[in-house]
């Protein structure tokens, strides 16, 4: 097949970017009393599943944003959790138990009531190992998880001992260890409720899911074409403006062309089209900081990278802004170990993220210099990334006199369990990224730098850091944030990785719609806020 | 042509398919990387989830065992499922019509435009028109599909707003630009090849005799020249048809057409053995049968061809 390899490469790199970015936009200042009605279309990818507990990528979560109401949403300025489907969430004084009350009178799209049991059943199903649901790992903090996921054999029970229904609208969750950020995690789709209909036919449910959100499915999921949504007339929360939403599914560059051709109302703008969008669509372009951090991870298990001064020097010696001005591989230089829309982020916290050649040289000397060649690793077949990595390597060479080498690793192996990242065989810094699960500073610290962090691939080990995280985990949510910031200060000094930048959640739209805004704290478009221009008020009578 | 020949050709399909499946299966199997681990991006799955999925898809088994599981399923009409749990059979059923429509569009352009270019260039040989056709066809052969597709999208979609540029939601008009993208290049190749064929035949003595007898030129070219040039043309057309039915990977991707080629990209990207094998096997079957059909057709066109 002529030329298929080339397209494959392009497809792969887009897929990687898509995993790290999603869509959003803000700037819809005040809630104008817009009229209901009309249809609009928005870009989406092809989700893996439309069952919230079995999907872990941005195309799915964007659909869930309309189809489900999460227990909590996030505050637009502090990014702290605020109740959505939950009425109240109360933490016990020992921090182990959460009492969750949900709003009464809410229904699923099939008319059945949303009850405490809908949550408990859904969570049990997802936590049950043999069901092999992708988000199973989200439940590992709840008591009884191990019994549902034994290291061998079939589990003897199908229910988490830590979940207890106390009535139609109330249930309690008991954790194995205190975890102050548990309320944040409830904003993730793993914790959405499922109706009875799901358990009868999970596979059929996947094609036409029934949620409790402002929008319901309008027909079945048309794979690789569209997911059509229509307003749920009996929604108990704030109803959506548009009557219908078409989530059009695109692969590759077609969405951008379709938008330019006037066939798509709202689309996301990736780094590759940002320059063009700033020029041609500046009136509707919205650039908002997104929920990912791109960074250069460091193999602390290699002798060359064991002195923190050397790591500080490497970070100080790169002019992030200059590289980004020329090559759009991220859009805003990082200045903390997390992106801005996260509780606990501090602007300018990373002193070693500034560009300062003199200080870099001084630090390198203090750290005993750099012996041998520095190998900079990244995944292959992404020319933009390769150019950026070349620029970084050149700066290390020019500013610190280090001999550098570039190493492109095939994408299939890069993040695989047997690849060099997980097996700790990286020879030098490597291009990496982290997309949040929930907008808390803790999600950017413990999983990546904690001793037991699921993605601690640098081998960073700092007992004080771990103890501080542990203290934060045991505090109240309110008190925990300053504690986590203390932990952040430790890695800002130790620099176990080199923060690079953040990707924006950027959208553009045509004249057909207004009020295109992002969901606070998450990289998603708020589907129910978008208004269709000139929509007739007639359809609003229904709601 | 004997019946035995036909049966022999049909029986040949079996080893071809088994071989294709084995090779493709091995290629997907040998590709480095861990498709299951990547289901949650770069975040680690729970060990129980990871192991359960690997067991479910027999990924914990050696290659030979996996291959036999696949053949066993195939014998029961089960083409397997993707790692997201969709049946490959469903996907093929969904994708086949899209690719078929695109193929028919492109094929129609190839046949009509290709033959027209060939005949005109041959009849008007060594004129300005012939040279113009030469330049046009060479240009179309050289320009990569990805460039041609983008130019068509930009001009007719983005600038003129005449035609859709992505997806299939606009019905038949969705297929116009992608069919042109594929068909123009094929028409140009066919035009070059058929032109020299037509020219060879026109030099034949029977043609000169026909012209000398005063038969109308149109009829000479149509009845005598073209018919005698058909065998190589039909052979090429058969190959092109089978190639198109395999799924035009680039064209389907740039025009966002959910056809077989589009799925192939997804299958390779997610390292999904059953999906890739299913797609390639389907295209092998189409190839084998198209070839058989072409051979039979050639025997009809030219009675001198016989198969034993």
Q: Where in chain A is the domain with CATH 3.10.105.10?
A: 289-504
Q: Where in chain A is the domain with CATH 3.90.76.10?
A: 70-105+115-192
Assess whether pLDDT exceeds 80 at residue B134.
Answer: yes
Q: Rounded to whole angstroms, what are the CA distances from B273 to A494, B21, B82, B247, B249? A: 44, 10, 8, 17, 18
How far apart (Å, rounded) are the C-alpha atoms in residues A263 and A255? 9
- A133 vs B43, B49, B153: nearest CB: B49
Any idea how long chain B is? 308
What would the 3-class secondary structure string for chain B be?
A: CCHHHHHHHHHHHHHHHHHHHHHHHHHHHHCCCCCCHHHHCCCCCCHHHHHHHHHHCCCCCCHHHHHHHHHHHHHCCCCCECCCCCEHHHHHHHHHHHHHHHHHHHHHHHHHHHHHHHHHHHHCCCCHHHHHHHHHHHHHHHCCHHHHHHHHHHHHHHHCCCCCCCCCCCHHHHHHHHHHHHHHHHHHHHHHHHHHHHHHHHCCHHHHHHHHCCCCHHHHHHHHHHHHHHHHHHHHHHHHHHHHHCCCHHHHHHCCCCCHHHHHHHHHHCCCHHHHHHHHHHHHHHHHHHHHHHHHHHHHHCCCCCCC
Question: Could you read off the pLDDT of B186-212 as tens digits, one per residue?
Answer: 999 999 999 988 888 888 888 888 888
B85 contacts in A (CB within 8 Å)? 49, 203, 206
Q: Are A448 and A415 in contact (CB under 8 A)?
A: no
Architecture of domain A70-105+115-192: Alpha-Beta Complex (3.90)
How far apart (Å, rounded) are the C-alpha atoms in residues A236 and A104? 9
pLDDT score at B308 = 62
Burial of A24 (0-12, 13-18, 19+ CB in 10 A): buried
- B43 vs A1, A258, A454: nearest CB: A454
Phi, psi of A451 (to 5 degrees): -55, -35
Q: Are A409 and A380 in contact (CB under 8 A)?
A: yes
A11 contacts in B (CB within 8 Å)? 253, 265, 269
Cβ contacts below 8 Å, chain A against chain B, sum to: 173
Domain A289-504 sits in CATH at 3.10.105.10
pLDDT tens-digit profile, chain A (543 residues): 232 222 223 333 333 333 333 333 333 334 445 678 999 999 999 999 999 999 998 999 999 999 999 999 999 999 999 999 999 999 999 999 999 999 999 999 999 999 999 999 999 999 999 999 999 999 999 999 999 999 888 999 999 999 999 999 999 999 999 999 999 999 999 999 999 999 999 999 999 999 999 999 999 999 999 999 999 999 999 999 999 999 999 987 899 999 999 999 999 998 889 889 999 999 999 999 999 999 999 999 999 999 999 999 999 999 999 999 888 777 899 999 999 999 999 999 999 999 999 999 999 999 999 999 999 999 988 888 999 999 999 999 999 999 999 999 988 788 777 889 989 999 999 999 999 999 999 999 999 999 988 899 999 999 999 999 999 999 999 999 999 999 999 999 999 999 999 999 999 999 999 999 999 999 999 999 999 997 764 444 333
B166 contacts in A (CB within 8 Å)? 250, 254-255, 257-258, 261, 263
Residue of B nearest to A153 (CA): B48
Could you tell me which residues are beta bridge partners of residue A377?
A: A407, A430
Residue of B nearest to A155 (CA): B48
How far apart (Å, rounded) are the C-alpha atoms in residues B58 and A83? 43
Q: How far is A82 from chain B (nearest CA, A)?
A: 26
A140 contacts in B (CB within 8 Å)? 46
Mean pLDDT, residues B220-228: 81
- B56 vs A132, A206, A454: nearest CB: A132
Q: Are A296 and A431 in contact (CB under 8 A)?
A: yes
> A97-102 and A86-91: which strand pairing?
antiparallel
B157 contacts in A (CB within 8 Å)? 257-258, 260-261, 263
pLDDT score at A508 = 97
Q: Are A56 and B44 in contact (CB under 8 A)?
A: no
How high is the mean pLDDT of chain B? 89
Could you tell me which residues are beta bridge partners of residue B146?
A: none
């Amino acid at each position: 097949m002529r030329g298929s390899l080339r397209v494959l490469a392009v497809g792969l790199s887009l897929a990687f970017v898509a995993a790290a970015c999603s869509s959003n936009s803000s700037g819809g200042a005040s809630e104008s009393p817009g009229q209901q009605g009309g249809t609009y279309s928005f870009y989406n990818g092809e989700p893996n599943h439309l069952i919230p507990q079995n999907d872990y990528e941005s195309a799915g979560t964007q659909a869930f944003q309309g189809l489900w109401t999460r227990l909590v949403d996030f505050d637009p300025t502090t990014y702290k959790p605020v109740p959505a489907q939950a009425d109240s969430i109360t933490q016990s004084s020992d921090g182990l138990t959460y009492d969750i009350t949900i709003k009464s009178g809410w229904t699923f799209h099939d008319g059945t009531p949303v009850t405490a049991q809908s949550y408990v059943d859904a969570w049990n199903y997802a936590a049950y190992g043999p069901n092999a649901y992708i988000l199973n790992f989200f439940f590992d903090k709840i008591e009884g998880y191990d019994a549902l996921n034994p290291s061998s054999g079939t589990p003897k029970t199908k229910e988490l001992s830590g979940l207890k229904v106390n009535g139609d609208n109330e249930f309690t969750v008991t954790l194995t260890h205190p975890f102050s950020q548990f309320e944040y995690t409830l904003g993730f789709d793993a914790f959405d409720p499922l109706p009875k209909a799901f358990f009868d036919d999970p596979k059929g449910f996947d094609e036409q899911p029934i949620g409790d959100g402002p929008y319901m499915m309008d027909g079945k999921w048309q794979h690789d074409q569209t997911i059509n949504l229509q307003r749920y007339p009996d929604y108990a929360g704030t109803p959506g403006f548009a009557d219908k939403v078409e989530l059009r599914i695109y692969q590759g560059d077609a969405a951008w062309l379709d938008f330019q051709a006037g066939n798509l109302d709202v689309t996301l703008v990736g780094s590759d089209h940002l320059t063009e969008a700033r020029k041609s669509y500046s009136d509707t372009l919205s650039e908002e900081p997104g929920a990912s951090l791109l960074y250069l991870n460091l193999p602390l298990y290699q002798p060359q990278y064991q002195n923190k001064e050397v790591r500080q020097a490497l970070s100080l010696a790169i002019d992030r802004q200059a590289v980004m001005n020329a090559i759009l591989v991220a859009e805003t230089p990082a200045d903390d170990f997390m992106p801005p829309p996260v509780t606990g982020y501090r602007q300018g916290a990373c002193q070693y993220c500034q560009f300062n050649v003199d200080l870099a040289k001084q630090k390198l000397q203090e750290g005993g210099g750099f012996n041998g060649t520095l190998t900079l690793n990244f995944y292959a077949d992404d020319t933009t990334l390769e150019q950026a990595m070349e620029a970084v390597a050149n700066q290390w060479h020019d500013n610190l006199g280090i001999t550098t080498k570039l190493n492109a690793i095939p994408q299939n192996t890069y993040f695989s369990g047997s690849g060099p990242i997980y097996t700790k065989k990286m020879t030098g810094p490597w291009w990496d990224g982290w997309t949040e699960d929930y907008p808390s500073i803790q999600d950017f610290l413990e999983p990546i730098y904690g001793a037991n962090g699921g993605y601690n691939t640098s081998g960073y080990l700092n007992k004080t850091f771990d103890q501080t995280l542990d203290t934060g985990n045991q505090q109240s949510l309110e008190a925990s944030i300053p504690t986590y910031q203390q932990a952040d200060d430790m890695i800002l000094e130790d620099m176990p990785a080199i923060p690079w930048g953040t990707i924006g959640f950027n959208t553009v739209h045509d004249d057909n719609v207004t009020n295109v805004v992002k969901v606070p704290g998450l990289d998603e478009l708020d589907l129910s806020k978008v208004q269709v221009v000139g929509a007739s008020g007639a359809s609003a009578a229904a709601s | 042509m004997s019946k035995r020949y036909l049966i022999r050709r049909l029986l040949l399909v079996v080893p071809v398919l088994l071989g294709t499946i084995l090779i493709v299966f091995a290629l997907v199997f040998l590709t480095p990387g861990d498709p299951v681990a990547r289901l949650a991006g770069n975040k680690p799955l729970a060990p129980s989830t990871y192991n359960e999925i690997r067991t479910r898809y027999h990924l914990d088994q050696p290659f030979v065992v996996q291959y036999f599981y696949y053949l066993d399923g195939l014998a029961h009409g089960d083409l397997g499922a993707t790692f997201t749990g969709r049946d490959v059979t469903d996907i093929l059923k969904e994708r086949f019509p899209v690719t078929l429509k695109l193929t028919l569009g492109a094929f129609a352009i190839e046949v009509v435009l290709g033959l027209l270019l060939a005949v005109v260039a041959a009849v008007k040989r060594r004129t300005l028109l012939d040279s113009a056709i030469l330049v046009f066809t060479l240009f179309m052969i050289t320009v990569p599909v990805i460039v041609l597709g983008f130019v068509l999208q930009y001009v007719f979609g983005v600038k003129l707003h005449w035609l859709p540029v992505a997806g299939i939601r606009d019905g038949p008009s969705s297929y116009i630009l992608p069919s042109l993208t594929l068909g123009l290049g094929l028409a140009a190749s066919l035009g070059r090849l058929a032109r020299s064929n037509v020219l060879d035949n026109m030099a034949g003595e029977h043609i000169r005799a026909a012209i000398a007898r005063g038969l109308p030129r149109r009829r000479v070219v149509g009845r005598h020249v073209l018919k005698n040039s058909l065998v190589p043309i039909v052979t090429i057309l058969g190959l092109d048809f089978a190639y198109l039915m395999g799924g035009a990977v680039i064209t389907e991707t740039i025009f966002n057409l959910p056809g077989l080629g589009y799925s192939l990209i997804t299958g390779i990207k997610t390292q999904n053995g059953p999906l890739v094998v299913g797609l390639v096997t389907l295209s092998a079957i189409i190839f084998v049968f198209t070839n058989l059909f072409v051979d039979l057709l050639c025997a009809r066109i030219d009675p001198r061809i016989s198969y034993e």
